[in-house]
Structure formats: structure tokens, C-alpha cells
Chain A
């Protein structure tokens, strides 16, 4: 095997131009594979971080309350009892917070914006604090008894308000009437994509007052875990535990809570039911977008890999043609078919492995460079990404995959020409005119 490796390596060196061209193609594809994978990972990570901080916990226990069978509201009654049960059922949680959920108009003297209102106690919201970039005021203003609101930059610009100004919230409440409440702008944050267009944060008391709710109510209990991958397990455990503790649960529906209003309104029950979801359920739309992105990326990489495989096959055909007489000689002096096959495949294995390693290294280095450069993303992409800069996450497993998959596929491409070389009759090969 050592001598076959030597022959393969030296043949590659001998045909420098051919080797360099093919190697460059494999390096480029592997590099793209790493970069696109890192981009996908980066988007996923950004979405996970931003999404789980702003929209959802890793596991959520949300409430739907119905006074009549035809209308549902995102209200969780007996909040203290439910919080206690959740804490007991998930002792391994990293943090548990609760938020109120609402929907309404934000009205200023200049304009009106409409969207989701999330009631928070900022003193408990470490994850949210980590992702929001406050440009004016303080998130702490949403942590006390004050009736405060956090607006995103574009909302504030549209409403022509700044910190300290008052805006009016207007919302339809449970019984169909519209309530209004004056709140003060406590903080303005940098835009965060789609979320910052469609929602804003208020102090918890704002929604209590706006909807005239009992103090022992909330909207959702959000459970954060050290390992988000455990979300599905924790969800199952919570569903079982909550049922045992005499809570009423909705059917398990892996979808975001705001998609469930129509379904809830159509169901024939009153009172409250709990809806247990994971972050993946709540970000199902975003996940769909991610899957679309992954599919497009996979297709692109697939096409590139096919091109490389065809390139490898073509090169191998040329190599086999050029070395047909050598094959004949080797077969004549006693080299078996398998060894001929291995000899040719080794060339591809060496070339593709070295090239893939180089491609992976370059890809990882470029990903690091792009992260360091903090490249801004276009506003359109920001909406989807929930971030204003590009972020690439190089996952070690994807590097290993690239180093394994690229050589495997290119070697597969070389298999057909190499096996043809191995099957050549010695006399046919020796008489080859090329």
C-alpha cells in the first residue's frame, strides 16, 4: 500500500496543472460548504438567541381563557399556583419568567402603530437584556410599578416620540370594549427585524391595567433550560405533570400561540386551558424559513458537488487514458485488478482529502474574518435575521462532515473510471496507442 500511495502522490505531482485545477475546484466547493453551513448555523443561532429571548422560552406554558365558547384570550389565571407547579416539575430549569400577552395600538400625536404588546418585569429578564440594544433610556424602566413602554427605533421615529414622552395604548379587551391607557416611553432599542416591527414591550402592570386583569394572572410562563435540546423532553414531562396536578391542557399542537386563536375560538369549552409548547413550536414560521434556507443551500451545494464529481470523473478518464499502457504493464508484471483500482482511487483520495482539509481551513478562517468584520446586513435580511450584522457559526461537526463527505463523493466519482482501468485486459492496455 505504501508504494501505491507513493505512485499516486507522485502522479499527482507530475500532472501539476491538472492536479492544481481539480484541487482548486474541491477547495472552493469545500470552502463554500463550510461558509454556507456556518451562515446557516449563524442564522439559526441568532434566531435561537433572539427568538428565545424576545418571543419564547425554551419551553412555554401559555394560557388561553374563554369567557364564552366563541372567544379566547391569551390569559393564564391562577398564575402563582401554575408558576409553583412549573417550578416543581422542572427543577433543572435555568430560569423561569412569566410575561403578559396583549395586542393593541400605540398612539402618539403624530401616528399610530399596531402590534403585539408583551408585559415584562425587566428585573427578571436576563436573556432579553442580553439581546436588546438600548439606544435611549433604560430597560429598568419596565421593571417597577411605572407604566412604561419600550419602543424600537423605527416605531419611535414613526410615532415621533423619545424617552420621557407619553403614548396611548388602545386595545380591545375581553368583553369587546376598547380600553385606553397612557404610558411613558421608558426605553428605545435598536431594531431587531420582524419582531421590532410587530411588537413592543411594556411593564407588566400596563397590560394588567389595560385589560383590567386580576393580579394573579399572566400570559405565559417561560422556562429556560441550560440545554435547549432538552425542550421536547421537558415539554412532555410538563404536560404529564400539569395534567396530574389537575390543570386542563389543550391538545398538543406544535405551532405558535398567536396562530391558535381561531382554533381556540372554534372549540366548545370555557374557562382556561394551558398550552405547552417548545421554542421550536413558537418559532415554527422562522423554522420554516430556516428550512427553506437550508434546502436552497443544500441544493446549491449539491449542484456544486455534482460539478466537482463530474470534474473528478473527467480527470480520471483522462488519467486512465494517459496511463493505459502503464496499467497494461502493471497487469503484465502481476498487479491484480483490485490493486489497480486502489492505485487510481488513492490519487483521488489523496487529492480530495488534502483539498478538503485546505477548503475547510480556508472556510473556517474566512468565517472568522467575516465575524470579526461585523458585516452589516441589509434591512430586508434584518427582518428575517433579527440582527443587524452577519454572524457565522462554524460547527466542528460540519467541518468533520465536509472533510469526510467531499472526499467520499469525489472518490465515488472516480470509482467508475478507476474500475474501468482495473477491468482492462492487459493486452488491450499494453497495445493502447495513447
Chain B
């Protein structure tokens, strides 16, 4: 299994007035293609920062972030935008749909940005995806006409429509009730299994974590454990599985 995400000694600090607040400290990890990985940890532990760095919407203070073999520090703003459009999908806690577009248009939007497909091809892809997420009857509903679970399904469809290698989900179930949240995770897992898409999602909900192949637990900006799930749903501590402390092997000589 090749790695689609590699973080090597990544630190991220945020200036706060005269203070510097560290959000991530010397984090190194790698995530293989097709993994269904959960980033767990309490609020302020650095989960969102880590996802932002992998998603190329933020830059590390130090260290290297490799996405699909590309060192993001060496990419221009335009290349990073292209990388996000072609290789990454995003699912947000608050869904972040475009309020003035309907379900179909929201999902179709990344394809329009890509500009590669004909209208007919886009229609086919979007319709198929909406059917997959159970929204085939809601093409023309605007976000404010959908329930929270439906909105998150739209967001999932939007994240998947470009067939990205990696989907990043920041607390995708946080704004949903337990049942709907479970259904969303099931949907993500199903897509992961059938399409081989890598999912990296943050959560602090143990019931959500138990669906993950692997849980990377963060505390105070550091990885404290990484491994598969214990029967009670808690993450085990198996750093030898995929997490390397220190630089990733192939970066060691750089």
C-alpha cells in the first residue's frame, strides 16, 4: 500500500499577539492509499490544523507535507489550488455548502471548476453520486431545504465528485444526531471500501472512531498513539503500524 500522505517533522505555530501558540509539534506520520483513518483528540489538540495542512489550505511552520508524492512546500499557489481540485475532497463540520445553489449545482461545482467534462458527462456523474448518497429525489433542493444529514450527504457527494485520492473530513458528524452521524460514517466507509478512496477524518466521538481502520490520537499538538481500534472502541497504541517518529524514511536523505 503506497503512502498518499506523509508528514515529516511538521510543526505549526500561530502568532497570537506577542505570543506564539504551537498547534502541532514535530508530527510525522504516513497514511496509505485506501486507508480509513480517524484523527482523534480533545478540542485544541491540533486535529483541524493537521487536516488543514494535509488539505493544503495551510502551510506548516516547519517540516514537510507530502501529498500524493508532491512536496506541498514546493508548489505555487496555483499548483496547490489545482492539487486541491484534482486530488483532494473536503467535508466540513458545518457542511459549507453554497447556499444559493441547489443540491445538484453544489455537487457539480467542482467539476465546473475542473472544466474537463461535458454537460452530459457531468449530469451523469452527479446524478449517479446523488443516487449513491440517497439524494436522487433532492436535486433541486437548496441547502436550507435539507436536513443536517442530507446536507452532509451533499457535502460528501461534492467531495467525491472529482474522484479525489484523499477525502478530508473535519468532524463530519459533529453537527448531526447519533443516528444520522452513524449513517454518514457508514456511507463514507462504504465509499472507502468500494472506491478505494482514502478518508482522513477528525472526531472526538468514540462511536465514530470505531469505524476507522486506524486512529491517530493527538494531544497538545503531538501524536500520542496511532493504531487500530480496540474492541471497546478506544484506539490502541500501535505506533509501529504506520506512524514513524521523526522524518519519513524516504525524506531522510533530503
Contact = CB atoms under 8 A, between A and B. Distances in A.
Interface of A: 3, 6-7, 10-11, 13-14, 325-326, 328-337, 339, 425-427, 430
A133 B247 CA distance: 99
B58 interface: yes
A427 B57 contact: yes
B163 interface: no
A337 B92 contact: no
B38 to A, nearest CB: 20
Chain B interface size, under 10 / 10 to 19 / 20 to 34 / 35 or more: 20 to 34
Contacts of A10: 100-101
Nearest to B95: A329
Interface string B95-137: 0101111000100111011100000000000000000000000
B82 interface: yes
B100 A336 contact: no
B86 interface: yes
B78 A336 contact: yes
Contacts of A339: 113
Contacts of B81: 331, 334-337
B52 interface: yes
17 contacts: A3-B105, A3-B108, A3-B109, A3-B112, A6-B100, A6-B101, A7-B101, A11-B100, A329-B90, A332-B90, A334-B84, A334-B110, A335-B85, A425-B57, A426-B58, A430-B52, A430-B92
Given A329-B90, A333-B110, 15 more contacts: A3-B109, A11-B100, A14-B100, A328-B96, A329-B96, A330-B98, A331-B57, A331-B81, A332-B90, A333-B90, A334-B110, A337-B81, A339-B113, A427-B52, A427-B57
Contact of B57 (A11, A325, A326, A426): A426
A331 B77 CA distance: 11
B84 A332 contact: yes
Nearest to B55: A332
Contacts of A430: 52, 57, 92, 96
Most chain B C-beta atoms within 10 Å of own C-beta, residue among A14, A336, A425? A336
B153 interface: no
B108 to A, nearest CB: 8
B158 interface: yes
Interface in B20-39: none
**Which A-B residue pairs are the 8 nearest by beta carbons?**
A334-B85, A10-B100, A426-B57, A427-B58, A329-B96, A427-B57, A334-B84, A336-B81
A192 to B, nearest CB: 60
A356 to B, nearest CB: 24
A427 B100 CA distance: 22
Nearest to A2: B112
Interface of B: 52, 55, 57-58, 77-78, 81-82, 84-86, 88-90, 92, 96, 98-101, 105, 108-110, 112-114, 158-159, 162
A337 B109 CA distance: 16
A325 B95 CA distance: 11
A143 B238 CA distance: 118
Nearest to B142: A10
B49 to A, nearest CB: 9
Contacts of B92: 329, 430
Contacts of A331: 57, 81, 84
Contacts of A425: 57-58
Contacts of B85: 333-335
A182 B52 CA distance: 102
Most chain B C-beta atoms within 10 Å of own C-beta, residue among A6, A330, A427? A427
A6 B114 CA distance: 18
Contacts of A11: 100
A184 B78 CA distance: 90
A326 B96 contact: yes
Contact of A326 (B88, B98, B105, B108): B98
A6 B105 contact: yes
A333 B101 contact: no
Most chain A C-beta atoms within 10 Å of own C-beta, residue among B86, B89, B109, B158? B109
Contacts of A336: 78, 81, 113
Contacts of A329: 90, 92, 96, 98
B100 A7 contact: yes
Nearest to B80: A426
Contacts of A6: 100-101, 105
Contacts of B78: 336
Nearest to B161: A333
A332 B57 contact: yes
A3 B57 CA distance: 23
Contacts of A333: 84-85, 89-90, 109-110, 113, 158-159
A430 B93 CA distance: 11
Most chain A C-beta atoms within 10 Å of own C-beta, residue among B78, B92, B158? B92
Most chain B C-beta atoms within 10 Å of own C-beta, residue among A328, A330, A430? A430
Contacts of A426: 57-58
Nearest to A11: B100
A54 to B, nearest CB: 62
A339 B110 CA distance: 12
A294 to B, nearest CB: 44
Contacts of A427: 52, 57-58
A14 B98 CA distance: 12
A35 B81 CA distance: 48
Nearest to A334: B85
A426 B88 CA distance: 14
Nearest to A426: B57
A411 to B, nearest CB: 21
Given A326-B98, A329-B92, A427-B52, A335 B58 contact: no
Contacts of A326: 96, 98-99
Nearest to A325: B96
